[in-house]
Amino acid sequence: MIFTPVPIKGAFLIDIEPKEDDRGFFARLFCENEFRAAGINPVFKQCNMQHNAMKGTLRGLHLQFKPHAEEKLMQCTRGAVYDAIVDLRTHSLTYKQWFGVELNAENRRMIYIPKGVAHGYVTLTDNTETFYMVTEFYSPECEWGVRFNDPAFNIKWPDLGAFIISEKDRNWPMFGRSAAVVRPLKRKPI
């Protein structure tokens, strides 16, 4: 695997190294030793899959805060997504910065998302599937999010027209404009 740091501190793009022959290829998607050598927590507690029927489906921006802050390893296994992350760690040198990348079934690229970094994506094709592993169990009491179109981050999402988005994701508060957003970070820092 090839681990490439991205502009968000602690986040990586991970490319596989397929070994091909006339049957197809073999590639490693995870290796505890390689992840540990890259400085990535190799202990995952859940694997999740999402199917999105329609192009333009937006999910996010999500994260969990302490004591259940999670790291994610995300891959698109069918179709294509534009994946975006935002650093919400107040102590980070990349605080409030964002990074986006296309993940698709052809490039087989993964993105590793550290604790305290919000994550979301929009589908670029119909019938898209994503697979991701997380280092913590889902804890609704620690779930948090920020609005995908918050001007505090100014994420440049692909121009797909109107997004298909859940009420919950549509109604996350704007960052810094609501005490409800700031309070969890002060009470339970990431």
Q: What DSSP character marks residue 173?
A: P
Q: Is 62 a catalytic residue?
A: yes
Q: Which of 166, 69, 169 is nearest to 117 (CA)?
A: 69
3-state secondary structure of 35: helix
Cβ atoms of 109 and 27 closer than 8 Å: no
Q: Is 51 a catalytic residue?
A: no
Q: Which of 65, 105, 109, 103 is nearest to 84 (CA)?
A: 103
CA geometry: angle 50, 41, 20, nearest 5 deg:
65
Q: Which helix (H) or strand (E) holds 74?
A: strand 72-78
The CA distances from residue 163 to 68, 85, 158, in Å, are 29, 18, 10
Residue in 82, 112, 121, 132 annotated catalytic: 132
The CA distances from residue 20 to 15, 24, 27, in Å, are 15, 6, 9
Catalytic (active-site) positions: 62, 132
